[in-house]
Amino acid sequence: MKKINLPSEMTSVSLHAIGELVTEQRALPDIADDEVLLKVESCGICGSDIGRVFKNGTYHFPTVIGHEFAGVVVHDNEDEWTGKRVSVFPLLPCFECDACKAQNYACCNNYNYYGSRCDGGFSQYLAVKKFNLVQLPDNVSYEEGAMCEPASVACHAVKKLSISDGERVLISGAGPIGIIAARWAISLGSKEVKFIENDPMKIKFARSLGFDIMSDGEKFDCAIEGTGASAPLAMILKAVKARGNIVLMGNPGSEITLSPKDYQQILRSELHLLGTWNSSYADFDNDWKDTLKAISESKLVISDLITHRVPLTMAHKALAMMRDKKEFFVKVVTDNEK
């Protein structure tokens, strides 16, 4: 690709080994016919990035991490996207398996993924498939575009609850996705959302946004388990009314166990347990477009969840802060927006 009015090198933050995050200079990537060159303006740091960097690693080394990002297209061989502001759906489907043929891309059997299986958004520039581009409305910032990924994940989970007007919703985990899910639930008809949370700072923050914590003995119509931990799941099983929907969203960090009594709660209350993974990106159901429309129309507010903005070159320090919980944070983004 002939690079016109572009630098010859770019700054990237690459994981070279577990715990070895390197800020380095790289050549700009070439782009294929089905790709564009994206100038990344903002990239969110996900909780999964902490485990990816310090414990589990990526699928190969080195890898530029970051899967929550937005930017502006600076080159498109066909000029279809040049100059457009976009968010990026990070999952790269195979388009060949049964799930992909049904446009159920989140269940693809052989997917790729920006920021874990291939290079992602912790870079000044990135080659991105045109299929994965979602144009930002003019009144949606790059930061909000970067947060479209967790907001779409939350949207996907809340839709599965099938909330009826006036229902009460319980969510375990008052992190960024949990809070966004709570806001989605309110916008879709819930009269009240409460949290299961034991972190005093998260409780304080949730209350500052108008939410509260579940009290003993309270009952709810449906719930989202957002922590991936045994104890909150057991609490949810007891709190949800008979035949209620429970969406399992949290990624487990260790083994999930249930006592016989908790398991019987599922049976005797005829509870509906539903899994959720990633988000919908189909022609007929697109959480990303729904999310950006809601943000643009001020029906979903997410920018007030950003507690830390850091330059790309400080990403490693931000990740260490999040790992060690040196400061209270909700959402941390690398912000290059001018």
pLDDT tens readout for residues 111-164: 999 999 999 999 999 999 999 999 999 999 999 999 999 999 999 999 999 999
Of 275, 271, 252, give the one whose Cα is nearest residue 263: 271
Percent of the chain with pLDDT over 90: 97
Name the residue with tokens 């080659």: 127
C-alpha 195/C-alpha 214 separation (Å) is 6
Three-state DSSP state, 328: coil
3 has a pLDDT exceeding 60? no
Phi and psi torsions of 312, nearest 5° = -55, -40
Cβ–Cβ under 8 Å, residues 210 and 182: no
* Domain spanning 9-147+302-335: CATH superfamily: Medium-chain alcohol dehydrogenases, catalytic domain (3.90.180.10)
- Note every long-range contact of 1-6, with CB atoms under 8 Å and residues 24 or more positions apart, other chains counting: 1/30, 1/31, 1/37, 1/75, 1/77, 3/28, 3/75, 4/75, 6/37, 6/74, 6/75, 6/125
Q: What is the mean pLDDT of the chain?
A: 96
Q: Are 109 and 94 in contact (CB under 8 A)?
A: yes
In three-state secondary structure terms, 53 is helix
List, in order, residues 6 or more apart from 146 with CB less than 8 Å away. 42, 43, 44, 68, 69, 70, 87, 121, 333
Q: In whole angstroms, how far apart are CA 321 and each of 63, 71, 252?
A: 21, 25, 22
Nearest Cα residue to 243 out of 275, 270, 273: 270
CA angle 200, 204, 210 (to 5 degrees): 145
Per-residue model confidence (pLDDT) at position 335 = 84
Q: What is the pLDDT of residue 253?
A: 85
Beta-strand runs (E) in 8-137: 9-17, 20-27, 35-45, 63-64, 68-76, 85-88, 91-92, 112-113, 125-129, 133-135
Q: Is the pLDDT of residue 2 over 60?
A: no
Sheet strand arrangement including 20-27: 20-27, 9-17, 63-64
Omega before residue 7 within 30° of 0, cis: no
| Lowest-confidence region among 62-66, 195-199, 250-254, 275-279 | 250-254
pLDDT of residue 10: 96
Query: What is the pLDDT, as a whole number, of residue 336?
Result: 75
Gap between the Cα atoms of 39 and 70, Å rounded: 8
What was the pLDDT predicted at 337? 55
| Predicted confidence band of residue 311 (pLDDT cuts 50, 70, 90) | very high
Class of CATH domain 154-275: alpha beta
What pairs with residue 123 in β-bridges? 12
Q: How many CB atoms lie under 10 A from the CB of residue 254? A: 8
Of the candidates 183, 254, 257, the one whose C-alpha atom is nearest the C-alpha of residue 224 is: 183
pLDDT (tens digit per residue) in 205-261: 999 999 999 999 999 999 999 999 999 999 999 999 999 999 999 999 899 999 999
Q: Are 272 and 162 in contact (CB under 8 A)?
A: no
Where in the chain are the domains? Answer: 9-147+302-335, 154-275
Q: How many residues does the chain have?
A: 338
* pLDDT the model gives residue 5: 80
Q: What are 25-74's pLDDT values in tens digits?
A: 999 999 999 999 999 999 999 999 999 999 999 999 999 999 999 999 99
